[in-house]
Structure 1
Amino acid sequence: MPEKNLILTLALLLICIVLFVSRKVRPDFVAIMALAAISLSGVLTFHEALEGFSEPVIMMIALMFVISEGFYRTGISCRVGEWIYAKSGHSVAGAMVWLMLSVALLGSIMSTSAIMAIFLPITLNLCHRLKVSPSKLLMPVAFAGIISGMMTLVATTPNMIMSALLENSGSKPFGFFSITPLGLTVLAMGIAYMLYIHRFLGNSKEPETSAKARKNLADYIRDYRLKERGCILRVGGKSPLVGRTLRESNLRTIHSLNVICIERKNGKRSVLLNPSPDTNIMEGDILYADISTRRERIPSICAELKVETDSLHGKNLLDKSMQMGMAEISVLPESEYIGRTLSEIRLRNEFGLNAIGLRRNGKPLNGEISNAKLKVGDLVLVVGPQNLIKRLFSEDIGFAVIGMPAELSDMASAPDKAPYAILSMGVMIALMVFNIVPNALAALIACIMMVGFKCLSLESAYKSIRLQTVILIACMMPFATALEKSGAAKLAVDALFNICGGGGPHLVLTGLFALTMFVGLFMSNIVTTILIGPLAISTAAVLGVSPTPFAMAVAMGASTAFMSPLSTSVSLMVWEPGRYGFGDFLRVGLPFSIIVMAVCVVIIPILFPF
């Protein structure tokens, strides 16, 4: 029976790893299937398999999404960005230092992806003002975003997972600032490293085609060639479209016209409608449409439909900017949508948004973009209601928000509540630092305060929780128990000892750090931590030493993801705007990763003795 459980556990783990790496199936669904399989196999009882959902760390991770959303909605991060303008002056080095410090410190208490979405246009603005290529500053900002995960307990999920594993093993969990000395050290090294290396990144001057300060609506129309694709149709009383629904009109099927929004008179004012297939077209409606057919056909189409036409330009959309939203999103490496077309994704039905442009390798795709299969790094321009656009920042849907037009971005929904958001965060940190209540309870109190002070609504709080991430972690955590019960953990520890055991705990610590860093190249840092974390705890038990330094090594190794643009959404977000190649990340990230590992394996045993 023990051998059977060992084989089953290792087989299931291998299948999970293959599926995680292949990215053919959503990671959270892989985890759900793994939970069912480990229960049916008999390695764990169903009760044991569900224990992950009762872990306090699961609650804490969900609550941190809410706190991050509260910071975003009160506009705190945007205000910091404006402050950087004044501090950076005319120095590229000065701008880099302030940007890296701001991103790392803010990222230590809120979502790094949200921070990057805010600081991306800020960085591009600085590049334009300093007349340098965006490649000079975007990679340093991305590195700072990654380093922010090393700053506090709540900065990134792997830290909280390793803290929970420590507590479950009977050891003292990480404190809120336990990881901070390491993070500050790495941040200082990162700033010094980038001050030297940035001179070798990209061109020295801002290219003519680079993004200017903050892209506005006209810039997006130009970059995606929307003038060639977009048109406005004014529906008169004699048009056969009047009284028919969009589905009945067959505009997309017959004329290759995709209606992205409808402007309609409502008394003395006009409103924008987010159309569905069942939306009725009325006399006087103005249809904003994306057309994938040849523009020469537009006059004949208008004559047939008895409508007037106009070209799409910045003012058309700017006049409606408070009602219509627009965002540029990038396909993430782990996205389930890779290899699928936009029509298969059904953005309108699933998210209430319309795709009106697609860029690949810096160039817009022509023709019917809905039939193009998505690839990693593709940029999609979507439009829709502002509230649905804002949801993209907080929901894990397989895309990362790259930017929004300057006219629409930085629109904090509760800017006057910023002091209350800061107060809520301060209370949480104080409760954690002085161990007054458990960490998860401290986060819950902060969330209650934010909702009570109306920093965000209860509905926004629920929507901000990335359920996919929560499910993934909760379903995979029981594998630590399965590895222990089946003997797989002991087998892995023995293998690690055969390689590093002769050198004592220091060499084993180095091996664990390197292993975590290497595995993190192929899968998310969350999955990497869940798989290697139990190995670290078991290794310490066999050595008869404290598990804390080994747990810290895994947490730090999981955040040392500088070598590939595909390792984190942070790097992916700067990949295309910075015009970087894959080799740029390897060339800059590999030496720095080695430096980080070398320093950490020396400092960790000093701060957390064996």
Structure 2
Amino acid sequence: MSPLAMVLALLGAAVVLFALNRPRMDVVAVIMMVALPMTGVITMSEALVGLSDPNIVLIAALFVIGEALVRTGVAQRLGDWLTARAGASEAKLIFLLMVIVAGVGSFMSSTGVVAIFIPIVLRIARNARIPAGRLMMPLSMAALISGMMTLVATAPNLVVHSELMRQGHEGFSFFAFTPFGVPILVLAILYMLVARRFLAPGPAPELPERAVLTGWVADYDLAGREHRLRLRPGSTLAGKRLDTLDLRASAGLNIVAIERGSRFRRKLIHPRAETVLEPGDILLIDQRKNGASDFDPDSFAQAHDLIVLPVSGQWFTDTAQEIGMAQIIVPPTSRLIGRTVTQARFRSSYDLSVIGMKHGTKPVPDSVLDEPLRAGDTLLTVGPWRAIRKLADERRDLILLDLPAEADEAVPARHRAPLAIGVLALVVVLMVWGIVPNVQAALFGCLLLGLFRCIDMGGAYRSIHWQSLILIVGMLPFSLALQRTGGVEIAAQALLGALDGASPQLVLAAIFAATAALSLFISNTATAVLMAPVALAVASALDASPYPFAMTVALAASAAFMTPVSSPVNTLVVGPGNYRFADFLRIGVPFAVICMLASMVLVPLVLPF
């Protein structure tokens, strides 16, 4: 087998594994880093060269800066301003929402922006009595378009920029993308003002003002599963630790809280393995259906000397209680995907109990503890407020979706918001004026944010999406391997042969279409790694400037509007927006075509051939 055939075989295997998402994308990237040197085309040192790429460090630093904006409440304040200014006008809401999201996303991860704004949009939809689905699609579309705004807005931009520099060209400037992103954002706003009528027809959802269990019984199919049992003084459960009782396995019972004390001085205790039950305790129980369908509370109470109490329907409504409720969503980057709640040791890891689960918009009827988690799943959890607030700082494995109205939505460092904004402005100025290299400016900003206590080291490390970084590092060697074996030249000649005699604008359209189509199956970052060398080879064959071709790849990589799996941004809004796969096809495909046509016109005007 020739070296080119071996490289193409590995590339094909990577694409298939990416499409199947088994194993995880970052694992596939590491496998390719190990396998490519075995072909003899590149060395192991060359396979690892991405780890020393300044753009990798820059991306990591930008994650930290974005996290500081969240921790200081900058993004939340923008959401509050949006609520105050837009009122009940749906058109005004869509306009302001898309402008704000695209603006914020120009300087931080688009996935992080969507994670921040989903609860804000849900609250706006409830207050304005607008179906959430009418706002969630504009949210995801604006987040993707934010990648077309600045050099640092999304990883594919930096990948294309790096490829230009590697081939001896001058890279893109900080605002080189803005002349394309702004017009496309305007087109997106106008498009969504028309296309919104095809989303979420029907009345606005009645979201409860307070996130109490009674408000979620129907949504999560919890009816008949809740029980309250009081321990008599002689109960066989009294004086025993919960881990020794193991009621989950023996009776299919999940204790979500323990009510302790008199009626005048009662408190709720979150159960842990070491919790010892006392006489008089009231157990608030979620009874699993799977494996416990024959559960009889009266028989269980008689066997253990308990008293069956009526369900009041007022669980967890006391704002003074230490136990709260929250809805959380599983993002595509979560390490919990494929594991059950039990296998993930959810209660031990997060100090929260899961009592409800939805796959998309469909509630899981049976045991939520034994159901494998999927990307986009929504979980209903119960636990201490401090654990819920701590979860707000964790957006890698779980994203806080909805809180009760009683929850104080304070952020850890709200009073340091001006400092965070000042540091961001300084970083942008350093990048735009080229005073120091981009990566040095970003790292300097991270140090200042730490100095001003806008973020701590733990939060900084947690904010970095290591999976994304490893994916880029693992795919970069393919670019070098394909160039050495002639694969890039063959792809470029094949593209030019299919478009023999076509105008350069049609060649740009073909590159855009190929990049967008490939992004349906693999990460848009990996797509940029593969398509950037091909686009530059096409430019060389046409004896044209490389910049319009490179820019087309970057713009197409961000045009991932067509399916819910095209981007993590789309996956996140499926559940909250009550979307189906067809909704993305119906709305996303036409706009992707609009973006391609706009690029054919704008790119040659701004970046002549």
TM-score, normalization by structure 2: 0.90
Correspondence list, 1:523-542, <5 A: 523-542=522-541
Please give the alpha-carbon distance, in whole angstroms, between the structure 1 residues aligned to 2:5 and 2:390: 43
Correspondence list, 1:260-339, <5 A: 260=256, 272-273=269-270, 275-276=272-273, 280-281=276-277, 287-292=283-288, 293=292, 297-307=296-306, 311=311, 313=313, 315-316=315-316, 318-319=318-319, 324=324, 326-330=326-330, 332=332
SS of the residue 2:286 aligns to: strand
Give the superposition deviation at 1:312.
7.5
> 1:76 maps to what in 2?
74
Please give the alpha-carbon distance, in whole angstroms, between the structure 2 residues aligned to 1:322 and 1:162: 50
Give the superposition deviation at 1:408.
3.8
Please give the alpha-carbon distance, in whole angstroms, between the structure 1 residues aligned to 2:562 and 2:293: 43
Amino acid at match of 2:159: I
Please give the alpha-carbon distance, in whole angstroms, between the structure 2 residues aligned to 1:284 and 1:114: 45
Unaligned 5+ runs, structure 2: none
Correspondence list, 1:144-223, <5 A: 144-203=142-201, 205-206=203-204, 210-211=206-207, 218-223=214-219
Amino acid at match of 2:556: G
Amino acid at match of 1:229: R
Q: Structure 2 vs 1, CA of residues 182 and 249 (structure 1 numbering), >3 Å: closer, same or farther? A: same
> 1:582 maps to what in 2?
581
Please give the alpha-carbon distance, in whole angstroms, between the structure 2 residues aligned to 1:402 and 1:439: 34
Amino acid at match of 2:541: V
Please give the alpha-carbon distance, in whole angstroms, between the structure 2 residues aligned to 1:155 and 1:216: 38
Amino acid at match of 1:152: T
> 2:140 maps to what in 1?
142
Give the superposition deviation at 1:39.
2.1
Q: Structure 2 vs 1, CA of residues 177 and 8 (structure 1 numbering), >3 Å: closer, same or farther? A: same
Q: Structure 2 vs 1, CA of residues 393 and 412 (structure 1 numbering), >3 Å: closer, same or farther? A: closer
Amino acid at match of 1:93: A
Q: Structure 2 vs 1, CA of residues 504 and 200 (structure 1 numbering), >3 Å: closer, same or farther? A: closer
Please give the alpha-carbon distance, in whole angstroms, between the structure 1 residues aligned to 2:473 and 2:325: 35
Q: Structure 2 vs 1, CA of residues 77 and 307 (structure 1 numbering), >3 Å: closer, same or farther? A: farther
Amino acid at match of 1:122: I
Amino acid at match of 1:557: A
Please give the alpha-carbon distance, in whole angstroms, between the structure 2 residues aligned to 1:390 and 1:526: 32
Please give the alpha-carbon distance, in whole angstroms, between the structure 2 residues aligned to 1:312 and 1:175: 62
Q: Structure 2 vs 1, CA of residues 392 and 593 (structure 1 numbering), >3 Å: closer, same or farther? A: farther
More moved, 351-360 vs 147-156: 351-360
Please give the alpha-carbon distance, in whole angstroms, between the structure 2 residues aligned to 1:166 and 1:327: 44
Correspondence list, 1:8-407, <5 A: 8-203=6-201, 205-206=203-204, 210-211=206-207, 218-226=214-222, 228-232=224-228, 238-260=234-256, 272-273=269-270, 275-276=272-273, 280-281=276-277, 287-292=283-288, 293=292, 297-307=296-306, 311=311, 313=313, 315-316=315-316, 318-319=318-319, 324=324, 326-330=326-330, 332=332, 341-348=340-347, 353-360=352-359, 362-374=361-373, 377-384=376-383, 389=388, 397=396, 401-407=400-406
CA contact (8 A) 1:246 1:279 kept: yes
Confirm whether residue 507 of structure 1 aligns to residue 506 of structure 2. yes
Give the superposition deviation at 1:351.
5.3
CA contact (8 A) 2:357 2:368 kept: yes
> 1:569 maps to what in 2?
568
SS of the residue 2:357 aligns to: strand
SS of the residue 2:499 aligns to: helix
CA contact (8 A) 1:217 1:318 kept: no
Please give the alpha-carbon distance, in whole angstroms, between the structure 1 residues aligned to 2:75 and 2:91: 21
Give the superposition deviation at 1:478.
1.7
Give the superposition deviation at 1:210.
4.3
Unaligned 5+ runs, structure 1: none
Give the superposition deviation at 1:368.
1.8
Amino acid at match of 1:50: L
CA contact (8 A) 1:330 1:399 kept: yes
TM-score, normalization by structure 1: 0.90
Please give the alpha-carbon distance, in whole angstroms, between the structure 2 residues aligned to 1:500 and 1:605: 18
CA contact (8 A) 2:360 2:574 kept: no
> 2:2 maps to what in 1?
4
Give the superposition deviation at 1:600.
1.0
> 2:413 maps to what in 1?
414
> 2:480 maps to what in 1?
481
More moved, 540-549 vs 472-481: 540-549
> 1:427 maps to what in 2?
426
Please give the alpha-carbon distance, in whole angstroms, between the structure 2 residues aligned to 1:486 and 1:179: 32
Amino acid at match of 1:447: C
Give the superposition deviation at 1:427.
0.8
Give the superposition deviation at 1:20.
0.2
Give the superposition deviation at 1:254.
1.1
Give the superposition deviation at 1:242.
4.2
Give the superposition deviation at 1:130.
3.1
More moved, 278-287 vs 523-532: 278-287
Give the superposition deviation at 1:256.
0.7
Amino acid at match of 2:473: A
Give the superposition deviation at 1:395.
5.5
Residues 174-213 of structure 1: per-residue CA shift (max 9 Å, x gap): 222111121111111111111222233232532xx54356
Please give the alpha-carbon distance, in whole angstroms, between the structure 2 residues aligned to 1:129 and 1:420: 32
SS of the residue 1:477 aligns to: helix
Please give the alpha-carbon distance, in whole angstroms, between the structure 2 residues aligned to 1:391 and 1:309: 34
Residues 231-257 of structure 1: per-residue CA shift (max 9 Å, x gap): 455556544334544332121111111
Amino acid at match of 1:464: S
Please give the alpha-carbon distance, in whole angstroms, between the structure 2 residues aligned to 1:396 and 1:475: 23
SS of the residue 2:355 aligns to: strand
Amino acid at match of 2:576: P
Give the superposition deviation at 1:484.
1.3
Give the superposition deviation at 1:475.
1.8
CA contact (8 A) 1:335 1:398 kept: yes
Amino acid at match of 1:160: L
Please give the alpha-carbon distance, in whole angstroms, between the structure 2 residues aligned to 1:473 and 1:264: 52
Please give the alpha-carbon distance, in whole angstroms, between the structure 2 residues aligned to 1:504 and 1:480: 27
Please give the alpha-carbon distance, in whole angstroms, between the structure 1 residues aligned to 2:152 and 2:266: 47
CA contact (8 A) 2:396 2:463 kept: no
Please give the alpha-carbon distance, in whole angstroms, between the structure 1 residues aligned to 2:392 and 2:40: 40
> 2:496 maps to what in 1?
497
CA contact (8 A) 2:138 2:192 kept: yes
Confirm whether residue 438 of structure 1 aligns to residue 440 of structure 2. no
Amino acid at match of 2:55: V
Q: Structure 2 vs 1, CA of residues 172 and 321 (structure 1 numbering), >3 Å: closer, same or farther? A: farther
CA contact (8 A) 1:329 1:382 kept: no
Q: Structure 2 vs 1, CA of residues 586 and 296 (structure 1 numbering), >3 Å: closer, same or farther? A: same
More moved, 308-317 vs 55-64: 308-317
Amino acid at match of 1:316: F
Give the superposition deviation at 1:421.
0.8
Please give the alpha-carbon distance, in whole angstroms, between the structure 1 residues aligned to 2:6 and 2:312: 59
SS of the residue 1:412 aligns to: coil
CA contact (8 A) 1:400 1:569 kept: no
More moved, 398-407 vs 246-255: 398-407
CA contact (8 A) 2:255 2:271 kept: no
Q: Structure 2 vs 1, CA of residues 393 and 34 (structure 1 numbering), >3 Å: closer, same or farther? A: farther
CA contact (8 A) 1:330 1:402 kept: no
SS of the residue 2:153 aligns to: coil
| Identical aligned residues as a percent | 37
Residues 205-224 of structure 1: per-residue CA shift (max 9 Å, x gap): 32xx5435685665345522
Residues 432-482 of structure 1: per-residue CA shift (max 9 Å, x gap): 000011111111111111111111211111111111111111122122111
